[in-house]
Structures are given as structure tokens and as C-alpha cells.
């Protein structure tokens, strides 16, 4: 089963476009709860509510070797029918790009990754050529500084850089395994991208803690078939409680968000 088929099946099965970002911050986690223990509890409590999990590799790298081992363990523990996205934002050329692809797709065995287009097609080719895996390419990111480059006009036609990125990714999408990262914090840009590319998978960060408005995110970003949209939330769900009930609180927050997304789809 390739990435697109897997995403479509789990989105329909769980009636969910929700992705939980497993971005672990020890300062926000319950005391005396380990990395894998925390992730396992979150997964057990939410597996029927999501279409994907998205750990950001940086948080685990920052915690050291043991945390990286527990990241492996977490990915192996995730249910096989749920999409596993590694938020790594890789982007390099030649053998380095090949090594990144081997590390993420073979060593970690994730279904999809995030990547930067800044170095051009050859920096993404080793990922693209893995036809059964997905590549979400940074397009209009959710951070405040995104406009420093992504909103710059490019060429004689006056297109903005993020629009050119989307156009290029659409051209490169020969195997149908490419998607775009478009932040909920820029709803008009999200609407434009979805309108122009109705079938391309979108990974949409920025709802909740980053301030993205959920109703606009859903109405502007969701595809017609409800099978190619991934709406990510991290802190709002992970840290709903710092007590012993953290997993139950996470499940409650995830269910509320999943149901709110579905309400706006109707």
C-alpha cells in the first residue's frame, strides 16, 4: 500500500483529518514519565481519532541517544494503518540527500517526511523516487517569519515564491506522492493553494497554539474527498494535562478537535 492509499483509507476509517504532532518537551511532560512511555500512552488513547502521527525529529535529537532509540520504538509501536510522518525538513544534494532518504524511509520506516525545496529538484529526487512514500514540501509555512522569503515576488509574472514552489512541486509530482506544507496561520494563501491544486495532499500545521483559525483551515484546506488533508496539532493535545490523567486529557482534546474539524466539513 502506498502513502496516498494509506492516508485515504485511515482518514475514512477514523473519520479524521487530524494528525498529532509528537513534539516532546520535557518541561511540559508529566514528571517521571519517559519518552516512549509518554508516546505509547498518547497513541493508545488517540489511535481511533487520528489519521497520522508526526514526530519532529529535532525534539528527540535534543534529548540525546536514549530519546532517539525511544523515537524508533515509538514509530514501531504506531498502528500499521495510521500514517507515520517524520517532520525532518531535510534538504541537501547528492549523496547527502540519498543518506537522508535512507535514514528516514529505511531506518525509521516512516510513510512520509517533510522536506525543504530551497536547493531544488536534485535535493528532493532521492525522496521523490521512493514512489510508495510521501514527501510534504515546505510551501507556505506557519511561522511569522515565513514572509521574509515566501512572500517575495518572483520573475516577471509577479508570482510570490510560495506560489512558484507549489507550481514546481505540481510539476515534479510524477508519481503522485508529493504534498505541500501550508500553514493554517495564512488562510487566504491556504485557500489559493487548495483551489489551484485540489488533489494534492496538504499538511496543515498551525491550528491551536500557533493561532490558526480552525473553521477557515477546514473550509479552505480540506480536499473534496476528505482523504488528502492532514491537519496537525501538537501542544494543544499533548499537554492538555501534566497530571496522571495526561493520556485521558489528550484523548479528550483530540476527540474535540477531530469532531470540530468534521463539523466544519459538513
The percentage of the chain sitting over the pLDDT mark of 90, rounded to a whole number, equals 94
CA distance 201 to 184: 14
Tens of pLDDT along 151-187? 999 977 889 999 999 999 999 999 999 999 999 999 9
Query: What is the reported pLDDT for 210?
Result: 52
Confidence bin at 204 (pLDDT 50/70/90): very high
Closest C-alpha among 259, 244, 257, 186 to residue 21 = 257
Tens of pLDDT along 63-92? 999 999 999 999 999 999 999 999 999 999
CA distance 194 to 180: 10
Query: What is the reported pLDDT for 208?
Result: 67
Query: What is the reported pLDDT for 209?
Result: 55
The catalytically annotated residue of 9, 89, 216, 219 is 89
φ/ψ of residue 23, rounded to 5: -100, 90
Please give the grid coordinates belonging to residue 262: 468534521
Domain ranges of the chain: 3-265
Residue 237 has pLDDT above 80, yes or no: yes
Tens of pLDDT along 90-114? 999 999 999 999 999 999 999 999 9
Cβ atoms of residues 165 and 182 within 8 Å: no
Tens of pLDDT along 115-134? 999 999 999 999 999 999 99
Q: Known catalytic residue: 89?
A: yes
Closest C-alpha among 42, 6, 35 to residue 21 = 42
Whether domain 3-265 has CATH 3.20.20.70: the reply is: yes
Average pLDDT over residues 4-14: 97
Query: What is the reported pLDDT for 158?
Result: 85
Q: What value does the mean pLDDT of the chain take?
A: 95
Confidence bin at 266 (pLDDT 50/70/90): confident
Average pLDDT over residues 33-41: 97
Amino acid at each position: 500500500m502506498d502513502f496516498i492509499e494509506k492516508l485515504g483509507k485511515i482518514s475514512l476509517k477514523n473519520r479524521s483529518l487530524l494528525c498529532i504532532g509528537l513534539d516532546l518537551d520535557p518541561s511540559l511532560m508529566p514528571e517521571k514519565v519517559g519518552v516512549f512511555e509518554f508516546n505509547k500512552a498518547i497513541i493508545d488513547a488517540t489511535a481511533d481519532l487520528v489519521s497520522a502521527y508526526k514526530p519532529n525529529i529535532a525534539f528527540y535529537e535534543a534529548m540525546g541517544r536514549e530519546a532517539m532509540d525511544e523515537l524508533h520504538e515509538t514509530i514501531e509501536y504506531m498502528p500499521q494503518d495510521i500514517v507515520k510522518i517524520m517532520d525532518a525538513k531535510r534538504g541537501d544534494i547528492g549523496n547527502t540527500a540519498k543518506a537522508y532518504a535512507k535514514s528516514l524511509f529505511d531506518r525509521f520506516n516512516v510513510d512520509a517526511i517533510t522536506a525543504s525545496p530551497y536547493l531544488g529538484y536534485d535535493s528532493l529526487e532521492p525522496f521523490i523516487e521512493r514512489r510508495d512514500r510521501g514527501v510534504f514540501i515546505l510551501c507556505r509555512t506557519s511561522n511569522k517569519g515565513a514572509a521574509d522569503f515566501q512572500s517575495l515576488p518572483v520573475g516577471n509574472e509577479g508570482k510570490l515564491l510560495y506560489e512558484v514552489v507549489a507550481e514546481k512541486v505540481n510539476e515534479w509530482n510524477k508519481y503522485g506522492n508529493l504534498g505541500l506544507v501550508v500553514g493554517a496561520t495564512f488562510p487566504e494563501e491556504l485557500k489559493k493553494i487548495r483551489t489551484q491544486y485540489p488533489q494534492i495532499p496538504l499538511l496543515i500545521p498551525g491550528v491551536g497554539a500557533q493561532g490558526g483559525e480552525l473553521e477557515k483551515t477546514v473550509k479552505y484546506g480540506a480536499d473534496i474527498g476528505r482523504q488528502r488533508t492532514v491537519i496537525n496539532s501538537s501542544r494543544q493535545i499533548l499537554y492538555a494535562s501534566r497530571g496522571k490523567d495526561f493520556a485521558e486529557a489528550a484523548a479528550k482534546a483530540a476527540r474535540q478537535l477531530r469532531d470540530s474539524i468534521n463539523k466544519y466539513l459538513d
